[in-house]
């Protein structure tokens, strides 16, 4: 019903403008004309605020004309052209002011809608990054373990059972990540959200990764800001996911969290995979994948005040390193 009423503003103003023009030139009394002008001014505001551009422009032209020329018949024959033009300009001013007020409200509403669209787009990108950073890690683990179980099922059933157990753990991790995404959506609707995982979950993450070794200085971890703490965990997840994708079979993956001269360092280094051919491909992953993966995390790390780098190690493997500034407002 509101939309139908708004659609009627332009035709109503056009009709009122035509009636006002006819009444003025047919000799309507000044009191009646002023009352009609008082009706036209709010209609001009409403048309400028709500009506479509083309019908609104036509209606606004008629409305402004009716407001501006109503005193002309009263002055005709008794005043000079200069006085008539002055009177028209004087009465055109409030009509144009009404249009300006409605146009301002229209512009503010448009800016608000754009801000809402931008906010929704940013939230969608954030959710996409969360799904990539966390769910992709667990899904890649499921794929790798399923492939391993298929190859050893006949020769070593015990290894196959252990692979299935790791698949189950990775599946539960993926479900937990998706739950966090759902909670984020609910938070946007006003509900409370589940906490974002941080470095406190690194032991479980590394334990689920075959060949993973964690070396952490937990005293140094307490010097990370909350943003840096969650970002460090994201870097570890993405780096381990890339090891699964690009360096399968690496015998050792070392995750380190320690204090260095520049601040607190999170590093993930894998040994050379069989035949030593995958380390360079991880570098391509860092350079090519715009908006996701390690390339997407670079912006997160820099936003937390840190730096992110990656490169081949001396043993033919690959190392990803993020350094965050130490903070006095430590995590408790």
pLDDT at 136 exceeding the cut of 90: no
- For the cut 50, the answer to whether the pLDDT of residue 286 exceeds it is no
Q: Tell me, what's the pLDDT at 237? A: 87
pLDDT above 60 for 291 = no
- Structure confidence at residue 181 (pLDDT): 67
Q: What domains, with CATH codes, occur in the chain?
A: 2-114 (no CATH), 198-332 (3.30.565.10)
Judged against a pLDDT cut of 90, whether residue 94 lies above it is answered with: yes
3-state secondary structure labels for all residues of the chain = CHHHHHHCHHHHHHHHHHHHHHHHHCCCCHHHHHHHHHHHHHHHHHHHHHCCHHHHHHHHHHHHHHHHHCCHHHHCCCCCHHHHHHHHHHHHHHHHHHHHHHHHHHHHHHHHHHHHHHHHHHHHHHHHHHHHHHHHHHHHHHHHHHHHHHHHCCCCHHHHHHHHHHHHHHHHHHHHHHHHHHHHHHHHCCCCCCCCCCHHHHHHHHHCCCCEEEEECHHHHCCCCHHHHHHHHHHHHHHHHHHHHHCCCCCCEEEEEEEECCEEEEEEEECCCHHHCCHHHHHHHHHHCCCCHHHHHHHHHHHCCCEEEEEECCCCCEEEEEEECCCCCCCC
pLDDT in tens, 298-314: 888 988 889 999 888 88
Q: Is there a contact between 309 and 321 (Cβ–Cβ < 8 Å)?
A: yes
**pLDDT higher than threshold 80 for residue 149:** no
Please give the pLDDT value at position 91. Answer: 93
More confident call, 16 vs 132: 16
Asked if pLDDT for residue 245 goes beyond 50, the answer is: yes
Which of residues 101 and 162 earns the better pLDDT score?
101
Instruction: Give me the mean pLDDT over the 195-205 stretch.
Output: 84
**For position 66, what pLDDT does the model report?**
93
* For residues 161-166, average pLDDT: 77
Give the pLDDT of residue 7.
83
Q: Which residue has the higher pLDDT, 24 or 163?
A: 24
Kindly state the percentage of the chain with pLDDT values over 70: 83
pLDDT at residue 38 in the model: 92
Q: What is the mean pLDDT of the chain?
A: 81
The confidence score (pLDDT) of residue 180 equals: 67
- Give me the mean pLDDT over the 62-89 stretch: 90
pLDDT recorded at residue 186: 62
pLDDT above 70: residue 281: no
Q: What is the pLDDT of residue 277?
A: 45
Lowest mean pLDDT among 28-42, 157-171, 232-246: 157-171
Whole-number pLDDT of residue 300: 83
Give the per-residue pLDDT at 35: 92
Predicted pLDDT at 251: 81
């Amino acid at each position: 019903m509101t939309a139908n009423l708004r659609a009627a503003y332009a035709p109503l103003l056009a009709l009122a403008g035509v009636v006002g023009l006819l009444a003025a030139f047919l000799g309507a009394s000044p009191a009646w004309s002023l009352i009609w002008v008082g009706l036209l001014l709010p209609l001009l505001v409403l048309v400028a605020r709500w009506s479509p551009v083309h019908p609104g422009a036509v209606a606004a032209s008629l409305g402004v004309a009716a407001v501006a020329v109503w005193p002309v018949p009263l002055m005709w024959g008794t005043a000079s052209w200069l006085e008539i033009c002055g009177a028209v300009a004087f009465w055109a001013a409030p009509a144009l002011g009404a249009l300006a007020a409605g146009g301002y409200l229209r512009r503010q509403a448009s800016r608000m809608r754009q801000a809402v669209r931008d906010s929704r787009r940013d939230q969608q990108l954030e959710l996409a990054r969360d799904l990539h950073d966390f769910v992709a890690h667990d899904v890649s683990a499921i794929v790798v373990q399923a492939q391993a179980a298929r190859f050893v099922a006949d020769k070593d059933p015990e290894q196959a059972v252990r692979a299935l157990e790791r698949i189950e753990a990775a599946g539960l991790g993926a479900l937990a990540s998706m739950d966090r995404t759902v909670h984020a959506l609910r938070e946007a609707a006003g509900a409370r959200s589940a906490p974002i995982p941080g470095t406190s979950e690194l032991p479980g993450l590394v334990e689920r990764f075959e060949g993973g070794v964690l070396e952490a200085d937990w005293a140094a971890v307490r010097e990370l800001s909350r943003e840096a703490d969650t970002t460090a965990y994201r870097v570890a997840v993405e780096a381990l996911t890339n090891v699964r994708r690009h360096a399968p079979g690496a015998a050792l993956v070392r995750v380190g969290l320690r204090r260095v001269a520049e601040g607190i360092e999170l590093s993930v280094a894998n040994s050379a995979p069989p035949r030593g051919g995958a380390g360079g491909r991880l570098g391509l992953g860092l350079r090519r994948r715009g908006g996701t993966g390690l390339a997407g995390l670079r912006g997160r790390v820099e936003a937390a005040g840190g730096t992110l780098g990656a490169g081949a190690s001396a043993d033919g493997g690959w190392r990803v390193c993020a350094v965050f500034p130490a903070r006095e407002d430590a995590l408790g």
